[in-house]
Structure 1
Amino acid sequence: MKSPYHQLTGTTLLLAPMVLLVIFCNKKWDEPSGFTGPQISVTMTIKELRELHAPGGFEQITSEQVIAGIVVADDSKDNFYKSVVIQDSTAGITIKMDGYSLYNTFPEGSKLFIRLRGLWLGEYGKMLQLGGSVNRKNPTSPELGGIPQALFSRYLVRGQLQQTVTPKTVRIDELSDAWQSQLIRLEQVEFAASDTGRPYADVLNKQPVNHVLKACGGGSIYVRTSPYAKFAALHTPRGNGSITGIYTVYKTEKQLLIRDTGDVQMNELRCTGNGTRTLLSENFGSQVADTVVQLPGWKQITEAGDKKFIAKKTGGKTYAELSAFATGQPQVTTWLISPPLNFSSSSNEQLQFKTRDGYDNGATLQVLASTNYDGGNSPWKAKWTVLSAQVAKGSVTNIAAGWVSSGNISLRSYRGQVYIAFRYEGADPPQTALKRTTLFQLSDITVVGN
C-alpha cells in the first residue's frame, strides 16, 4: 500500500534546507497584503481593566476577557526592564513580563492582544501594573510577578506592526493617576539648572537618577533613567523645549520615563531668568552721530569701494547706516564684523537684530557666521555661512517707518569661537540701470544663549 505522503527524492532533500536557509536569512517578515491581524474580539478597554483595581490590593482576573493596545514603550533601549507599555484610546497599562529582549517580539508600534483570565493586577509604589502572579514570600510586602516567558503564547497575541500613537500634550499640573502608563508630551519645559549637562543616570555606580524637569508655567516632574539604559551616559540638555515619555509614579512622586533621547527636544532658550546669558549686545548707543562706526572689538572693512557704516540717531534711537548712493563707485562691499564670541561654554545660542531700508533698488544686506575667520583684514578669505534672517526691503520711495525684526536665528550648530558679520553689497556706476544703492539701517544686535 502506498503512503498517502509524497516520497522525498534526493533532490527534494537537498533543496529543503536551502529553502529553509533562504526563509530564515530574511529577518524582515513582511505582513501579507491586506493583513488585519488576528481575529480576536476585544471585550474590555484598558480603562475598564484599571477600574477593577482597588488601591493597595491585588486582583486576579477570573473571567474570559481580552484587552488590546498599541505598544508605546519596549525594552529596546533598556530604560524599561522586563516590561512593555500598551495604550488604547481610553488608558494605558504596564505589562510585567519575565523575559528579556521583549522588543524582538513585541516592538514599539505593534498591537498587542492580552487574554486576561488568570492574570493579576497589582501596584509597585502606587503604579498599577498587569502581571502573571503574586509573590507572597514576604507577607507584609507582596509583589506582583511578571508573566512567565513560557506562558507568553497563552496570554499574549501580537497583531499588526507599525501602528502609531500620538502623544497627548498635557501640563504637569494636569497629571493624575488616570494618565499612568500613557505616552504624553510636555511642552515649554526644561531641566532644573542643577540638573543640566549631567548624565541621565549614574553608569559608574549603577544607580538610577531622577532629574528635575520644570515647566515655564509652574510645576515639576522627575525624569527617571535606569543606569542600564543605552543612553544613560549622555548628558541632559541645557535648553527649553518639549519632552515625550511614559508617565509613571512612585508613591507620591510624578515621574517620566523616556524611551530614548530622541524624546527630548530642548533647543530653545530657557525661560528661567538666570538661565539665559547675553553673549553680545550692540545698539550703537555709544557712537557719535554722523561719524564712522567704531566699536571696541568690532571690525569695519571695505572689500570694494570705500564707503563705511555711519552712526545715525533719530528720535533717540542710534543705529548704523550705509548706502552706496552718490559714491560713484562701481562696487561697494563693506563688512561690519563682531568681536569673537565664545560658544564653548554655552548652548542654544540665538541671534536677533533689527533693520530698516529706504530707496530700495536692489542692494543687499546679509548676515553671516564663521568659525574660521582669523580676525584679520581679509574676511572674504574665510569660510562664511549666510544666515536665514528677515531683513527689511521694498521701501522704494522713502525710508520705512518701522523696524523689521530678524526673528530668532539659531546659532546652536556653531561651537568654539564664532564671528557674526553684516555685509553690504551695492553699486553706483554711471549707468542708471546698474545702480544698487539701497539704504540700510541696522540696530539692536543681540546674541543670547544658555
Structure 2
Amino acid sequence: MKKYNSIFTYILVIITSLFITGCVHDDKYDEPGLENYQCRTEDYYTKAENNFVKWTIAQLKLKPQGTAFTDNAYIEGYVSSTDETGNIYKTIYIQDAPENPTQGLTVSVDAVSTYTKYPQGSKIYIELKDLSLSTYGGVVQLGMKTDAGTRIPEKEVSKHLFRDCSPEKAKIVPKVMTSAQMVSANDQYIGCLIQINDAEFDVKTLCMNYAPNGLTVDRQIRDASTNTARVVRNSGYASFANQILPAGNGKFVGIYSKYNSTYQMYINKVTDLEMNKFPRLDGLTSNPCDFNNTGLTAKTIAEVKQLYTSGNWNQITGDYYVKGQIVANDETGNLYKYVYIEDATGGIRVNINKTNLYQDNRFRLGKDIYIKLKDLYVSKVSGEIQLGTTYISGGNTLFGGVEEADVYKRFFDSNQPSRAVVPTVKTISQLTTDDVGRWIKIKDLQFTESSLYQPYAPGATTNRTLEDCSGNKIILRTSNFATFSAVEVDRGKGDVNAVLTYFNGVYQLWITKALDANLENPRCDGSVLPPLTTIFSDDFSSGLTKWTAVSVVGAQVWGTSNQGNGSNYYAVMNGNSGGNKDNEDWLISNEISLVGKTKAIVSFTSDVSYAGNPLQVLITDNYTGTPGTTTWTQLPANLDTNTSGFGDWAHSGNIDLAAFLGKNVRIAFKYTSTTSASSTWEIDDFKVKGQ
C-alpha cells in the first residue's frame, strides 16, 4: 500500500510542478518550432522554369497602388519585428539586410502570433502576385485588396510569405539613428529595427507604465540631437504594458515607423531597452520613481485641509507627505485635470494640469498613492479646500494644478494593487463639510420631475436635481464632455454613488459613470414611469426635409449648416448680411400626431450668438398654411442666452405638451431681427416623445 501511495504522490508532484511552471509569466518565450512549416530556398526563385522575377523592396514601393500585381515577382527580406509580446499587431516588418539595411517594409496581415512562423531574424520570400500596395498614415504598406480591407487574409498569408529553409536566423543589428534624423528623407528605413543612443523618456512620462490595460498610448522619448520629442507607441495588450518605463538614459531599440507627420517607434520586447544610466540629459542623477519617506512627516487628509488658514491659498512649507486612495478620476471625462483622494479622515480634490490621468498607473481608480506636499498649496476654491499649486497668467498669480512636468516629483505609486473604493453611506440631511471630497453613497434617491426624460448634460455642463423621499434635494452636476452626457437619467429610485463637492455654499454630487446613479426601483410614490418613445425627431443631417421655411420679411432664410460642428448639422438663421437686416422667418415642423397619447414632451438644443431678438418657440393645432393667420401658443422653452460666442448649446428642457394631447400639431421657431440687431440662432436635436 505504501508503494502505491508513493507512486501517486510522485505523479501528483510532477503534475503540480507542471501547472505552476505553466502559470509563470516572465516575458521569456520558448523558441518557436519551425520544422513543420513550408519553406523556400533561394534557388527555387532563380530556376528558369519557375519564371520568377525579383524586385527589390525599393522597386516594390514605387509600383502603382490599389491594384493587384499580375507579375510573377517576389522580394526577399529579413524579419525585423516580433509580435510575441503583443505590442505589434497584425503587422510584419521586414528590412532588406540584417545589418546596415537600405530599405524597410510594412507588411499588413490579418493574422496574429506570426512570430511562431516568421520569427525575428528569419529570411523570408514574399510572392507578390495578387498582392497590392496601399498607403496608411503616410506609410506604404504591402497587403491585399479585399472587401474586408487591405490586409492579407490569414488563409492567404502562407500562400505568399515563405521562410527560408535554412534553420539559421540572422542577427538583426539595429540601425543607429538620432531623433534629428527622423525626417522624410529617411523614410526608406520605416520598418527597420533602429537604435537611439543616449535616449531617455520625456520627463512628463517619468514613473508611468508603458500603457494602460487595453489602450494604445504614445510615450515621448528624447535624445540630445533635437528638442523635438519622438513617440514610442505602446499597446495596452502588450505583456509588458503594466511595467514602469525605464527612468534612466541609454539605448532604445524599436521598429521605426510614422503616422502622417509623427515619427514613432514600436518596442519588440522590453529586454531590448538598456536605459538605466544616470545622470540623464535633463540632469536627474537617480531614479525618481521610488518613494522614500526618510525625513518626511506623514499627514492625514484632514490635517492637510487644516493647513489652509486664510486668504487665497497657503503654501505648505513642511517636509510632509500624505497617502490616499484614488476614489474618482477622469476616465469618463466627467472630471478634468483633477482627481479625488481619500483616507480614513476625509477626502480632497488634487489638481493636476494634465489630461487622461487615468492612463497613468498611479491614478487608476482604487490605487493608493503618496504625495510629497512641500511647496504645494492648499486653497479654498468657491468654499472647497483643494490641493494644487500656483502659476502665472497675464501677470497674475493664480491657483491651479501641478504641472505635467512636475508630476513625477510629487506623486508616487504605492506599488500595491488597486483596492475597491468603499463609499461612506450618508443621507442628504447628514452631509457636512467634513464629507466634502469623499466618495459617498446616498440611498433611495430619485430625479425630480423636471429632470426626468432628459440627458445628463446635453451641450453644456448641467445641474440635475435629486431628491429623497422626504423631499430633501441635492444637485448632481455633469460635464457635457462626460462619455455618458447624452444618456437619459433613470426614472426610478435607487442609490447614488458620487464624490461630494462644495460650491459657494451648495453641496454637489459628481458621478464617474452612469451606473453610479442606477435608479431602477419604483419611485417614492410607488410609481413606475414607462419610457417615452420618439414620435418625431430631426438632427438636420438631411436638410429641412421635415420642415417648412417661411420668409415673411427679409431676404435671409432658415437653412442648415455644420460649420464649426464637424459632421453634425443643425438648423440656422442669421439676419445679418453685410449688416443687420429686418427679418421675420419661420421654421415650421411637419404635422406631428399626438392622437392617442397620454403624455408628450418636446425638447431641442439651441445656440445663439450676437445680440438681437429672442427666438420664439410656438405650437398650433390649426395651421392654416400661413403663419400670420394661424393661432399660436408660445412654449416655455429654455433657450441659450450667451450671445458672446458659439458652441455652448443649451437644452430646452422637457416641455410638456399636455394641452395638445389627442391633436395633430405643428411646432415652429419664429426668428425676427432689425436693422439695429440680428442674432444668429442654431437649433439641433429636435425630439417629440410620447406614450
TM-score normalised by structure 1 residue count: 0.53
Residue 522 of structure 2 corresponds to 269
Question: 2: distance between equivalents of 1:201 and 1:228?
Answer: 8
Number of equivalenced pairs: 267
User: Please, which of 161, 166, 171 is the counterpart of residue 11 of structure 1?
Assistant: 171
Letter paired with 2:302: K
Tell whether the 8 Å contact from 1:123 to 1:144 is kept in structure 2 after alignment: no
Q: Secondary structure at the match of 1:122?
A: strand
Equivalence map 1:198-209=2 (5 Å) = 198-203=454-459, 207-209=460-462
Tell whether the 8 Å contact from 2:498 to 2:511 is kept in structure 1 after alignment: yes
Q: Against the structure 1 CA distance between its residues 225 and 38, is the aligned structure 2 distance closer, same or farther, given a 3 Å change threshold?
A: same
Following superposition, the deviation at residue 180 of structure 1 comes to: 1.0
Q: Against the structure 1 CA distance between its residues 66 and 215, is the aligned structure 2 distance closer, same or farther, given a 3 Å change threshold?
A: same
Question: 2: distance between equivalents of 1:155 and 1:39?
Answer: 10
Runs of 4+ in structure 1 over 3 Å off? 10-25, 27-32, 37-42, 134-139, 275-278, 342-346
User: Please, which of 293, 298, 302 is the counterpart of residue 47 of structure 1?
Assistant: 302
Following superposition, the deviation at residue 63 of structure 1 comes to: 1.1
Q: Does 1:130 align with 2:290?
A: no
Letter paired with 2:463: N
Tell whether the 8 Å contact from 1:44 to 1:66 is kept in structure 2 after alignment: yes
Tell whether the 8 Å contact from 1:91 to 1:178 is kept in structure 2 after alignment: yes
Following superposition, the deviation at residue 277 of structure 1 comes to: 7.0
Q: Secondary structure at the match of 2:378?
A: strand
Residue 510 of structure 2 corresponds to 257
1:113-134, Cα deviation, whole Å (9 max, x unpaired): 1100110011221111111215
Residue 407 of structure 1 corresponds to none
Question: 2: distance between equivalents of 1:259 and 1:77?
Answer: 6
Q: Secondary structure at the match of 1:178?
A: helix
Letter paired with 1:180: V
Unaligned runs of 5+ in 2: 1-98, 100-169, 177-192, 197-209, 211-231, 245-288, 531-595, 601-690
Tell whether the 8 Å contact from 2:474 to 2:508 is kept in structure 1 after alignment: yes
Following superposition, the deviation at residue 220 of structure 1 comes to: 1.1
Q: Secondary structure at the match of 2:299?
A: coil
Q: Does 1:186 align with 2:439?
A: no
1:225-275, Cα deviation, whole Å (9 max, x unpaired): 0011111011111100101010001101110000001111211111047x5
Q: Secondary structure at the match of 2:302?
A: helix
Question: 2: distance between equivalents of 1:82 and 1:52?
Answer: 23
Letter paired with 1:186: I
Letter paired with 1:228: F
Question: 1: distance between equivalents of 2:329 and 2:469?
Answer: 30
1:276-301, Cα deviation, whole Å (9 max, x unpaired): 579xxxxxxxxxxxxxxxxxxxxxxx
Equivalence map 1:421-440=2 (5 Å) = none
Q: Does 1:153 align with 2:313?
A: no
Q: Against the structure 1 CA distance between its residues 221 and 69, is the aligned structure 2 distance closer, same or farther, given a 3 Å change threshold?
A: same
Q: Secondary structure at the match of 1:228?
A: coil
Tell whether the 8 Å contact from 1:55 to 1:126 is kept in structure 2 after alignment: no
Q: Against the structure 1 CA distance between its residues 44 and 343, is the aligned structure 2 distance closer, same or farther, given a 3 Å change threshold?
A: farther
Q: Secondary structure at the match of 1:109?
A: coil
1:200-241, Cα deviation, whole Å (9 max, x unpaired): 0122xxx21111100113421100000111110111111001
Letter paired with 2:377: W
Residue 85 of structure 1 corresponds to 340
User: Please, which of 358, 362, 369 is the counterpart of residue 103 of structure 1?
Assistant: 358
User: Please, which of 456, 459, 463 is the counterpart of residue 210 of structure 1?
Assistant: 463
Following superposition, the deviation at residue 88 of structure 1 comes to: 1.1
Tell whether the 8 Å contact from 2:291 to 2:412 is kept in structure 1 after alignment: no
Q: Against the structure 1 CA distance between its residues 211 and 24, is the aligned structure 2 distance closer, same or farther, given a 3 Å change threshold?
A: closer
Residue 117 of structure 1 corresponds to 374
Residue 64 of structure 2 corresponds to none
Following superposition, the deviation at residue 143 of structure 1 comes to: 3.9
1:5-64, Cα deviation, whole Å (9 max, x unpaired): xxx9x93745996999999551664579xxxx9554461111111111125531100111
Residue 423 of structure 2 corresponds to 167
Following superposition, the deviation at residue 89 of structure 1 comes to: 1.4
Letter paired with 2:442: L
Tell whether the 8 Å contact from 1:45 to 1:67 is kept in structure 2 after alignment: yes
Q: Secondary structure at the match of 1:43?
A: strand
Q: Secondary structure at the match of 2:434?
A: helix
Tell whether the 8 Å contact from 2:291 to 2:413 is kept in structure 1 after alignment: no
Identity %: 26
Tell whether the 8 Å contact from 1:47 to 1:91 is kept in structure 2 after alignment: yes
Q: Does 1:242 align with 2:495?
A: yes
Following superposition, the deviation at residue 86 of structure 1 comes to: 0.8
1:70-95, Cα deviation, whole Å (9 max, x unpaired): 11111111100110111111111111
Q: Against the structure 1 CA distance between its residues 228 and 12, is the aligned structure 2 distance closer, same or farther, given a 3 Å change threshold?
A: same
Residue 452 of structure 2 corresponds to 196
Aligned CA RMSD, in angstroms, stands at 3.6
Question: 2: distance between equivalents of 1:277 and 1:256?
Answer: 24
Q: Against the structure 1 CA distance between its residues 62 and 137, is the aligned structure 2 distance closer, same or farther, given a 3 Å change threshold?
A: farther
Letter paired with 1:267: E
Q: Does 1:68 align with 2:323?
A: yes
Question: 1: distance between equivalents of 2:382 and 2:466?
Answer: 21
Q: Against the structure 1 CA distance between its residues 126 and 27, is the aligned structure 2 distance closer, same or farther, given a 3 Å change threshold?
A: farther
Tell whether the 8 Å contact from 1:121 to 1:131 is kept in structure 2 after alignment: yes
Equivalence map 1:281-300=2 (5 Å) = none
Question: 1: distance between equivalents of 2:240 and 2:472?
Answer: 44
Q: Against the structure 1 CA distance between its residues 55 and 211, is the aligned structure 2 distance closer, same or farther, given a 3 Å change threshold?
A: farther
Question: 2: distance between equivalents of 1:228 and 1:48?
Answer: 33
Equivalence map 1:282-361=2 (5 Å) = none
Q: Against the structure 1 CA distance between its residues 73 and 277, is the aligned structure 2 distance closer, same or farther, given a 3 Å change threshold?
A: closer
Tell whether the 8 Å contact from 2:492 to 2:529 is kept in structure 1 after alignment: no
